[in-house]
A and B are shown apart, each in its own frame.
Chain A
Amino acid sequence: MSTATVQPERILKDLQQLWAKLAHDQAESGGVLRACAMTLTVAAEDAPDAERVRQTVGVLMHNHPSRAVILRPVDGGAALDARIFAECWKPFGKAQQICAEGIEITAGQSGFSEVAKFLVPLRVPDLPVVLWCRGAGALERGPLEALFPLADKIIFDSIHAADADSALQFLRRLRGRGGRVADLHWTRLTGWREVLAHLFDDGALNPEEIKDAQVTFGGPSVTTCARYFTAWIRTSLPGVRVTLASGDGPAGLRSVTLSSASNNLTIARTDDNCVEVSGNGRHYRLLLPSTSEEALMQEELGILGRDPVYERALAA
């Protein structure tokens, strides 16, 4: 690792030297393979969060090798500073290392608005730019707005948003301006949505027979994920009456019941990882996929084009 002041040309030159050194150090085991599929810019919440981001990015790089640019905010009006790093791994059974590169930029709150102009030359040319804005604060107007026009996709996480409706309004506004947005609190629903969707595979359930859908959420107030889920059902089954109700249990989605004239079918959370499907001749439990931050980001980084299902749910 080396340090550099924030002069993009200098940083790029340092990166070149870093690659030359890596190649030299690994010459006997076949050199290193440089891999890059995007520029992943991460705006951390604070300095400790930036440390966590480094670890998460290290995991993400295995499936989505990228030039990572981590923005590390510090208190006060500290001057911009930057350092570069490489994230290397050796695939199972292979002698050659694969490496991806990273840049960590430190800035005081006042310096964040300047970061955008440094990011332009630091993007990998011709590859997509993904911006990951961490923390609830990102869902408000703030210094990160200057970075939005640089990104092909902007990822937020509304799980800690104090007000679900305001957070959704923010995302809708951004989407309305033509930005491609994603919300990890929507991504957390993939397991639930998949369980529900598969009930309709091969005509096992007839969507035309469903009259009502009741979604229950836990916690003190309605969350964005409950709003997304009801919106998704509403847009998928336009004629169905969809209601959202508060229920017992920790925050998040607790159950969904689909009712037809003759039957009820319920998917209910039994614990953090499982749901139980019951009714209409069915009774079984299913394991939900991991909702670790790494798993959610892996899923989102795999979708760099339009995501029409999410866009419909967000707009509804």
Chain B
Amino acid sequence: MTEVRNPFEDPLRFERRVPECAIVIFGATGDLAKRKLIPALYRLAYDRRLPASFAIIGTSRTPLSDEAYRELMREAVKQFSEDGEFDDELWKRFAGNLYYVAGDVKDPQLYVALKEKVNAIRQGNVLFYLSTQPSYYPIIVDGIGHSHLAAAPPGAWRRLIVEKPFGHDLESAKELNARIHAVFREEDTYRIDHYLGKETVQNILALRFGNGIFEPLWNRRYINHVQITAAESIGVEGRGAYYQEAGALRDMIQNHLLQVMATVAMEPSAIFEPNAVRDERAKLLRSIKIMRPEEVDLYAVAGQYKGFRQEPGVNPDAQTDTYAAVTFFVDNWRWAGVPFFIRTGKKLPKRVTDIAIQFNSAPLALFNTGNGEEGARPNLLILRIQPEEGISLLFLSKKPGSGMRLRPVSMDFNYGTSFGERSPSAYETLLVDAMVGDPTLYTRQDMVEASWTVIQPILENWSQRRFDFPNYEPGTWGPAEADAMIARLGREWRNS
């Protein structure tokens, strides 16, 4: 079918329009649906981004009527919408297209019922959203396949969004991909990594490739090292049972932080087109040096906070890493020899996610007075992702007064200040992208497998070890071994 260009398009002024479609949410009464998905869809309706006939079909085991489900979601939207007043009139219109089908994902009758519901609401385009526990993903995909729910009528589409984790190691990721591809084509498979939907992560691309001043410095000649920190001040907050199976390395580094690192370090794509951008991210992930078994202890540190084993649902002997720090190297001409330090953990001193690019110091400490004052402190470019989104550049400036005494100053760009308009949440962005068929910010199979390949040696090493946990106090920046890891390479963490 040849695509007819819309002669009336005006991308400067018109929003991308979501086509007529339905979204089927598996795990529709779960935390993600309540906290993120339904509030994001409601907000899109509030912003008039959804077509009038847009429908949501929620499904889970809990027996509920359409009305009871609507009421449950109404409360969720009221509680979890990040901004804006709750609009009763809008909710009535929104909830009119909100349906519920109860059933067990292992029961073939569920898919028959879903098919009947999809046919009843007469939607050709359907987006399936897997928001259940990961072990159900293959079962659901099989169920969709066997019931022919994935078969779209001519001119329509059927797509699948898969929440992380995409497997729990390389082998299981490959197996999951094979099961998905038996039913959905890769181009119809959207693996969601909500970090990539954050405005500031997208802004990394704008900063790097929209400006002329950064890219010439963005290499091993000028950059000393990169630190990526994703710290949480809270613990597992009731998710102990899930978390003890995952751990920080799997839960954060394998997906979110390696994707962020790929965005920071990738080569520019020739065009801004989904597969071109994803090709560059994938190439970067494949360029990360794979650790040899004997290198794991040098370049990876696991930690567990004191008190984790006493959390509800957690094994009192758990070997789970609630903290992980890893040093990666990228084997390409741009980054050879530049360490990328990535750390993430729970119960750290504050909630912060940022990327710090530390440049080499000036070659000569011209202003070093030798009395302990700042003289040749390196410049830092900090890309702040949360809680305050923005960019800061640290450099030295002369202190007012006589003499040449320097002190570090920060030049700040605050995203919220310069653009007063509201930033869409990551889920709003990513849901619209999936509905309009733009996978740029979604993870592709080869990217998933490349990132599992990178951390596989660490997983194997850690699975065979018995750690002397706990090894850090809540409210500290993690275990002393992480400080030693970075110190061995002559650097130190930014703990500010």
Contact = CB atoms under 8 A, between A and B. Distances in A.
B48 A64 contact: no
A33 B417 contact: yes
A226 B3 CA distance: 31
A81 to B, nearest CB: 30
Size class of B's contact patch? 20 to 34
Given A33-B417, A37-B418, A92-B83, A237 B13 contact: no
B83 A197 contact: no
A192 to B, nearest CB: 11
Interface in B4-53: 4, 6-10, 12-15, 17, 19, 48, 52
The binding surface of chain B is classed by DSSP as loop
Nearest to A210: B7
Nearest to A198: B17
B10 A193 contact: yes
Interface string B412-437: 00101111110000000000000000
Interface residues of A, number: 36
A207 B9 CA distance: 12
A197 B414 contact: no
A56 interface: no
A190 B13 contact: yes
A65 B17 contact: no
A35 B416 CA distance: 10
Nearest to A307: B12
A201 B17 contact: yes
Interface in A237-257: 237
A309 B12 CA distance: 9
B85 to A, nearest CB: 12
Interface in A272-316: 284, 286-287, 289, 299, 303, 307, 309
B420 A64 contact: yes
Interface in A197-240: 197-198, 200-203, 206-208, 232, 236-237
A237 B7 contact: yes
B414 A65 contact: no
A92 B416 CA distance: 11
Contact of B417 (A98, A194, A200, A303): A98
Contacts of B6: 197, 200-201, 207
B417 A35 contact: yes
Given A190-B13, A197-B14, A207 B7 contact: yes
A91 B416 contact: yes
Contacts of A64: 420
A65 B417 CA distance: 8
B418 A35 contact: yes
A196 interface: yes
B8 A63 contact: no
A166 B287 CA distance: 63
A203 B8 contact: no
Nearest to B3: A203
B12 A303 contact: yes
Contacts of A37: 418
Given A197-B8, A200-B8, A207-B4, 4 more contacts: A193-B8, A194-B13, A197-B14, A303-B13
Interface of B: 3-4, 6-10, 12-15, 17, 19, 48, 52, 83, 414, 416-421
9 contacts: A65-B417, A92-B83, A98-B417, A197-B14, A201-B6, A202-B19, A207-B6, A236-B8, A237-B7
